[in-house]
């Protein structure tokens, strides 16, 4: 009877309370026998709090596991780089094949900023200033985040699915059996490719977005081109562009680590692979926005550390 009860508890998805339940049952065997109804109601009233606690612990465990995964990856990176052909293949997949989608989305985001901003600025007769807004938004936020999102969607989920399939079909075990380390062979090249190439993709997104914004503002909406550039140059500093590119490297690292981690811990079968791909995108996207927030706070403070006086508030 106590055994059955503990089994029931673990079946409803609370493996964490079962050890204590076992202790409890072995110490007070009469408890369950005497009052089965009250045990059942206790189990019910524990449900919400315990599932909340269970979720929290699972979250913290997942985060810790991800941190260990990252450390192992970094450690293997210091033990000699993987073969060039393997890295180049990853770089081709991550970099070259992502250019198209980054250019298209970058172009449209630049153009839509122009359309959205124009109405407001036109009301104030300040439409020549629109370039400043478009370009600062692009290089500081939209370029890096857009490139990272595209990378997470196009490359991140593909990596999770590929490594997940390798896990499910025992190819990762086969690598180890043949004397290769899966971290060094699979994770490090993907990490390097994402980390090193995402600034370039961001630069592409920035550039095409700037072009798209300019095209729509000056050629369609009739803003004067000279003033457009003049105001843009007033506002957009090299520091903004560089921090945008720097930020994207954090995104690239997060995408690579999260996607590979999801792939390595993939569940069984086609369902597991599908879930790994979806989770890797969702988690990467969350990680992108969270790191974006913190890195932006940091770079903003850093700006005032380097240039203490507020430079231009007009």
Confirm or reject binding of residue 71 to another protein (CB under 8 A): no
Confirm or reject binding of residue 14 to another protein (CB under 8 A): no
CA dist 148 → 94, 152, 193, 198 (Å): 11, 6, 13, 7
- Count residues binding another protein (CB under 8 A): 17
Confirm or reject binding of residue 72 to another protein (CB under 8 A): no
Residue 89's CB: how many other CB atoms inside 10 A?
13
Confirm or reject binding of residue 306 to another protein (CB under 8 A): no
Site for another protein (CB under 8 A): which residue of 96, 115, 174, 226? 174
Query: Smallest distance from the beta carbon of 65 to another protein, in angstroms?
Result: 14
- Asked if 94 contacts 193 with a C-beta cutoff of 8 angstroms, the reply is yes
Confirm or reject binding of residue 202 to another protein (CB under 8 A): no
**CB-nearer residue toward another protein: 7 or 294:** 7
Confirm or reject binding of residue 271 to another protein (CB under 8 A): no
**CB-nearer residue toward another protein: 93 or 127:** 93
Which one of the spans 103-111, 116-124, 147-155, 179-187 is the region binding another protein (CB under 8 A)?
179-187
Dihedral sign from CA coordinates of 115, 121, 125, 130: negative
CA–CA gap between residue 161 and residue 271 (Å, rounded): 11
Query: Smallest distance from the beta carbon of 179 to another protein, in angstroms?
Result: 5
CA dist 201 → 104, 117, 190, 272 (Å): 12, 25, 15, 30
Residues 17-56 vs another protein: string with x where CB under 8 A?
A: -x--------------------------------------
Confirm or reject binding of residue 181 to another protein (CB under 8 A): yes
Confirm or reject binding of residue 15 to another protein (CB under 8 A): yes
CA–CA gap between residue 145 and residue 142 (Å, rounded): 5
**CA dihedral in degrees (54, 55, 56, 62; nearest 10)?**
110
Q: Name the phi and psi angles at 237, rounded to 5.
A: -100, 160
Cβ-Cβ contacts under 8 Å for 47 (sequence gap 6 or more): 12
Site for another protein (CB under 8 A): which residue of 44, 55, 170, 234? 170
DSSP 166-181: HHHTTHHHHHHHTT--
Confirm or reject binding of residue 177 to another protein (CB under 8 A): yes
Write out the residues near another protein by the rule CB under 8 A.
Answer: 10, 15, 18, 165-166, 169-171, 173-181
């Amino acid at each position: 009877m106590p055994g059955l009860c503990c089994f029931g508890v673990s079946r409803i998805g609370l493996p964490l309370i079962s050890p204590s339940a076992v202790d409890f049952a072995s110490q007070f065997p009469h408890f369950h026998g005497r009052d089965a109804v009250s045990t059942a109601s206790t189990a019910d009233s524990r449900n919400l709090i315990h599932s909340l606690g269970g979720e929290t612990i699972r979250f913290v465990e997942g985060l810790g596991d991800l941190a260990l995964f990252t450390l192992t990856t970094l450690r293997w990176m210091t033990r000699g780089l993987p073969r060039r052909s393997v890295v180049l293949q990853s770089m081709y997949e991550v970099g070259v094949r992502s250019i198209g989608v980054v250019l298209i989305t970058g172009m449209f985001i630049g153009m839509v900023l122009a359309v959205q901003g124009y109405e407001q600025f036109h009301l104030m007769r300040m439409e020549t200033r629109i370039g400043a807004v478009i370009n600062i938004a692009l290089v500081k936020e939209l370029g890096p985040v857009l490139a990272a999102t595209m990378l997470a969607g196009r490359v991140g989920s593909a990596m999770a699915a590929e490594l997940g399939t390798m896990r499910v079909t025992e190819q990762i075990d086969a690598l180890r059996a043949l004397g290769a380390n899966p971290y060094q062979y699979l994770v490090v090249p993907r990490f390097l490719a994402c980390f090193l190439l995402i600034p370039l993709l961001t630069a592409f997104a920035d550039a095409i977005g700037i072009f798209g914004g300019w095209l729509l503002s000056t050629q369609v909406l009739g803003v004067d081109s000279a003033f457009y550039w003049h105001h843009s140059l007033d506002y957009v500093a090299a520091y903004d562009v560089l921090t945008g590119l720097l930020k994207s490297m954090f995104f690239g690292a997060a995408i690579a680590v999260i996607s590979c981690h999801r792939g390595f811990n993939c569940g069984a079968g086609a369902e597991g692979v599908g879930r790994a791909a979806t989770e890797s995108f969702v988690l990467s996207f969350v990680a992108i926005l969270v790191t974006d927030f913190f890195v932006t706070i940091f770079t903003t403070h850093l700006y005032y550390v380097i240039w203490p006086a507020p430079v231009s508030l007009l």
